[in-house]
Amino acid sequence: LDEKDEAFIRQSLEGVNPADITALLYEFDSEECHYVFGLLPKEVDAAILNDLEEDVRVDFIAEFTPEELAKYIEYLDSDDGADILYQMSLKKREEVIRFIDNEEKASYILDLLRYEEDVAGGLMAKELIKANINWTIKQCIEEIRKQAENVQKIYSVYVVDDLGKLVGKVSLKRIILAEDSAKIADIYDDNVVSVETYMDEEEVAIIMRKYDLEAAPVVNARGKLVGRITIDDIVDVITEMAEEERQMMAGISADVEEDDTVWMLSKARLPWLIVGMVGGLLGAQFMGLFRGDIVLIPALAFFIPLITATGGNVGIQSSSIVVQSLANPNVFAGGIVQRLMKVLFVAVVNGVILALMVFGVVMMVNRNEPLAATVSIALFSVVLLASFMGTITPLILDRFGINPALASGPFITTANDLLGLAVYFSVAHLLYNL
Amino acid sequence: LDEKDEAFIRQSLEGVNPADITALLYEFDSEECHYVFGLLPKEVDAAILNDLEEDVRVDFIAEFTPEELAKYIEYLDSDDGADILYQMSLKKREEVIRFIDNEEKASYILDLLRYEEDVAGGLMAKELIKANINWTIKQCIEEIRKQAENVQKIYSVYVVDDLGKLVGKVSLKRIILAEDSAKIADIYDDNVVSVETYMDEEEVAIIMRKYDLEAAPVVNARGKLVGRITIDDIVDVITEMAEEERQMMAGISADVEEDDTVWMLSKARLPWLIVGMVGGLLGAQFMGLFRGDIVLIPALAFFIPLITATGGNVGIQSSSIVVQSLANPNVFAGGIVQRLMKVLFVAVVNGVILALMVFGVVMMVNRNEPLAATVSIALFSVVLLASFMGTITPLILDRFGINPALASGPFITTANDLLGLAVYFSVAHLLYNL
């Protein structure tokens, strides 16, 4: 590349899948990428631009003139084009759209930019194949030939009435298998699952997964067919949801990746560390109230990490089981009372087992009956309380429209640390003063 | 339902999507479900059987005779049929296969049962549309008409040579748009991404996501086309991967859901709780070594939760960032040394900020300089050490083929608790004995 041997680069990248070229480009800087772009066919460039990670792309598109960008966007589906435009300033957006020669594409993209990025309307592409219910197969195939130029992958042909309302779908397979003279009305399937423009992307993902759809038609509030969402976008939504959940569980407050700057990574991690720190400092002040007990029985201090760690572990286990049920609504049919009863049962089983084991070990090693009793009673209570907290917190968050996975993160650990300390020292204070 | 009003049930379920009926059936017991099954068309029953959660299905299929099951399986694609057979004893499996009238389907399924469930061979369906490279479009369409009966969704037509080797693909769209007299050889696309039978399902998911494929052809070691994997199966794989990761992060050792029995839930949660408990007991013994320090300065005990919680939080943050990079190999190009350098930078930034804040608060509230120095120096060291451990552990696990998400669970918290205590009491011992 350093020698800029055009012929060699062109030749070695010919026939290579754009996704592989994208992976390669991450190794180069923006200027080098720009140079390689100039050597490749425009449609390959467009595919690469679409493939790039969003935060890499944002730097990358700054290198191009609006006119160049418009050329690339013409090769993309309207939804992918709109995604790229979302990343620009309003001013640059306008300029790029002005340079798009294909009037239809430009109006499609303008239409899509009206929606929020994370609802069905922002996820859909305008390109799709539709057929009027009154057409014959022959007419339909002719129309498909016309429409198909703009549509990369067909999946189903959507059937609409004269008002443009979605009434059903028909697969390409059925069209190929049908007689030319048959009518769409005779062979179409009126049982079609559609989504509405304002639906949240996560809701769309759940629906498409439930019905195993590889494409879903999008209708507006009046039932008119306005676009379609394809499964590749949904795969991205599902992956993003999983990433978001991982970050919540890990207590990372922004969408960062390992290649972000030190400062961005620090900033994303600091808020929850500070929450944990404040919790720790509050815990320290609280224990100060029991200074007398610790001076008398210093061994009490030895078991603080056991109590807090168990509380944290039990809390995260409980909350993640609830989060899983919430993500998969079929699984658990019972109400909140049944749910809590079951959680408490599980907590009693595990609490008894753990408490007995700890009692045995402390008796054997420390030969101190009140200490063993204190630690094991406190441990049992903490298992119960942390189970309850871990179950109820994600349910409450979910009720208020907050992502319940937040409850599996440092939040629950910090709360359970404090709760655990309160229980432990209360039990100790009570038992030793009897 | 109690009154067994057949006509009413039949009528109200007519035209309802099978996925919705499935959701409904979770509310009933097995016997009631069996009754409803008898009233529905066989192909709807088959779709429902395919839709059911695996652990519900295992109980449910026990209600049916092998002959009944064989009838349902005939309506399913071979991969879905094989998935159901995987859940039976070898004996019942044989019986069911004997009752399958469609010879081709039976041989397909037998073929699939040879593969492990979690490799490409176990995920693929045998049903696909293939065309010989030497055919004309006309021949091809005729063949599609024949083959299409057995294939629910077509996606692409795969192009093979005379030996059955995969040489390319051609979309239905291109076939529809081409002249009847054209040859497949003229219009097919020889740039086709395929997977091999032995590939791990997670690898297949990564490939299909990278290239935005809605179906991938599967070839055997000799390059012969043997099946195809469709995106709906991959969506399931991605969802399962996310669930598995959530359970690892939460310290749940088996694939349980909220509706499993109390005993199963307890058993899945106990192992990591015991690991945490053993860690806590070891920590207690370790602190026993510093009994003298605690008696002299009981305030030392107050900050134990602060130190252990911060170590746990930092460790989980670091490991989950690495896990994310490992799941998404494009993101981070650097080697292990660069990785660790960066992590240490972030740790220094966050460590300094946290340590200064804690120093300030302890000085203000406790007005105790050596204590403030001890706690903040220990905190800084713990942030550094926990970052290092959190980064290195998933990398090592990944190197040994273990799921790196294991490192974001109770494992890292327990290790960091012990490490944190060691650092804290060593720093305290040193500072107070100066």
Q: Give pLDDT, residue A373.
A: 93
Q: Do B145 and A246 touch (CB under 8 A)?
A: no
From the candidates A21, A127, A180, A266, which should be mutated to test the interface with B, based on the most B CB atoms within 10 A? A266
Residue numbers in A near B316 (CB within 8 A) = 249-251, 410
Closest of A207, A138, A128 to residue A169, by C-alpha: A128
DSSP character string of A394-432: HHHHHHTTS-GGGGGSHHHHHHHHHHHHHHHHHHHHHHH
Spatial contact of B25 and B36, defined as CB atoms under 8 Å apart = yes
Tokens standing for B142?
């005729």
Of the candidates B144, B171, B235, the beta carbon closest to that of A238 is on: B235
Contact with chain B for residue A282, Cβ under 8 A: no
**Whole-number Å distance between alpha carbons of A170 and A185:** 10
Q: Which residue of B has its CA nearest to A347?
A: B266
pLDDT at B221 exceeding the cut of 80: yes
Q: Do A281 and B361 touch (CB under 8 A)?
A: yes
CA atoms within 13 A on the CB side of B301: 32
Q: For B205-226, what is the mean pLDDT?
A: 90
Strand order in the sheet with A166-171: A130-132, A156-160, A166-171
Residue A363, Cα to own-chain centre: how many angstroms?
48
pLDDT at B55 exceeding the cut of 90: no
Please count the other Cβ atoms lying within 10 Å of the Cβ belonging to residue B401. Answer: 6
Q: Do A346 and B285 touch (CB under 8 A)?
A: no
pLDDT at B337 exceeding the cut of 60: yes
Closest Cα of chain A to B313: distance in Å?
7
Q: Do A266 and B294 touch (CB under 8 A)?
A: no
Closest Cα of chain B to A403: distance in Å?
15
At residue B330 the predicted structure's pLDDT band, cuts being 50, 70 and 90, is low
Backbone dihedral angles phi then psi of residue B46, each to the nearest 5 degrees: -60, -45
Beta bridge partners of A217: A228
Of the candidates B280, B317, B349, the beta carbon closest to that of A250 is on: B317
Contact with chain B for residue A147, Cβ under 8 A: no
Helix (H) or strand (E) holding A226: strand A225-230
Of the candidates B250, B270, B314, the beta carbon closest to that of A273 is on: B314
Q: Do B53 and A331 touch (CB under 8 A)?
A: yes
User: Number of Cβ pairs closer than 8 Å across A and B?
Assistant: 365
Q: Give pLDDT, residue A116.
A: 87
Of the candidates B209, B298, B417, the beta carbon closest to that of A235 is on: B209
Q: Do A246 and B247 touch (CB under 8 A)?
A: no
For strands A130-132 and A166-171, give the pairing.
unpaired
- One-letter amino acid at A126 equals K
Q: For B236-263, what is the mean pLDDT?
A: 84
Tokens standing for B153?
């969704």
For strands A166-171 and B195-196, give the pairing.
unpaired
Closest of A231, A404, A417 to residue A321, by C-alpha: A404
**Whole-number Å distance between alpha carbons of B377 and B379:** 5
C-alpha dihedral (B380, B381, B384, B390), degrees to nearest 10:
-120
Closest of A168, A139, A172 to residue B148, by C-alpha: A172
Q: Give pLDDT, residue B401.
A: 84
pLDDT mean by block of 10 residues, chain A; 434 residues: 69 80 78 80 86 81 86 89 88 89 88 88 89 90 79 83 92 80 88 92 89 90 92 88 86 80 88 91 92 89 93 91 79 71 91 95 90 94 94 90 83 88 92 78
Contact with chain B for residue A406, Cβ under 8 A: no
**Whole-number Å distance between alpha carbons of B13 and B3:** 16
DSSP 8-state assignment for residue A53: -
**Whole-number Å distance between alpha carbons of A350 and A381:** 11
Tokens standing for A138?
């022959």
**Whole-number Å distance between alpha carbons of B184 and B161:** 11
DSSP 8-state assignment for residue A77: -
CA atoms within 13 A on the CB side of B406: 14
What distances in angstroms separate CA A381 from CA A157, A319, A413, A431, B252, one per listed residue?
A: 60, 18, 16, 14, 21
Residue numbers in B near A32 (CB within 8 A) = none
For strands B215-219 and B166-171, give the pairing.
unpaired
pLDDT over 90 percentage in chain B: 30
For strands B215-219 and B195-196, give the pairing.
parallel
Of the candidates B177, B257, B349, the beta carbon closest to that of A325 is on: B257
CA atoms within 13 A on the CB side of A104: 11
Residue numbers in A near B238 (CB within 8 A) = 235, 238-239, 242
Whether ipTM tops 0.85, in short, is: no
**Whole-number Å distance between alpha carbons of B235 and B305:** 41
Q: Which of residues 291-310 of A touch B (CB under 8 A)?
A: 291, 294-295, 298-310
Q: For B49-65, what is the mean pLDDT?
A: 83
pLDDT at B1 exceeding the cut of 60: no
Of the candidates B252, B291, B321, the beta carbon closest to that of A258 is on: B321
**pLDDT-wise least confident of A38-42, B83-87, B396-400:** A38-42
Beta bridge partners of A119: A200
Closest of A330, A393, A277, A290 to residue B310, by C-alpha: A277
DSSP 8-state assignment for residue A170: E
pLDDT at B434 exceeding the cut of 70: no
Q: Do B251 and A317 touch (CB under 8 A)?
A: yes
From the candidates A144, A180, A316, which should be mutated to test the interface with B, based on the most B CB atoms within 10 A? A316
Q: Which residue of B has its CA nearest to A334?
A: B259
Residue numbers in A near B414 (CB within 8 A) = 309
Closest Cα of chain A to B1: distance in Å?
18
**Whole-number Å distance between alpha carbons of B32 and A187:** 34
Q: Do B357 and A285 touch (CB under 8 A)?
A: no
Q: Which of residues 28-87 of B touch A (CB under 8 A)?
A: 53
Write down all domains in chain A, each with its CATH number in brackets: 6-111 (1.25.60.10), 130-239 (3.10.580.10), 262-432 (1.10.357.20)
Closest Cα of chain A to B350: distance in Å?
6
Cβ within 8 Å of residue A43, ≥6 positions away: A75
Q: Give pLDDT, residue B86.
A: 87
pLDDT digits (tens, 9 = 90+) for B155-197: 788 999 999 999 999 988 788 778 888 899 988 988 899 999 9
Contact with chain A for residue B403, Cβ under 8 A: no
Residue numbers in B near A330 (CB within 8 A) = 22-23, 26, 53
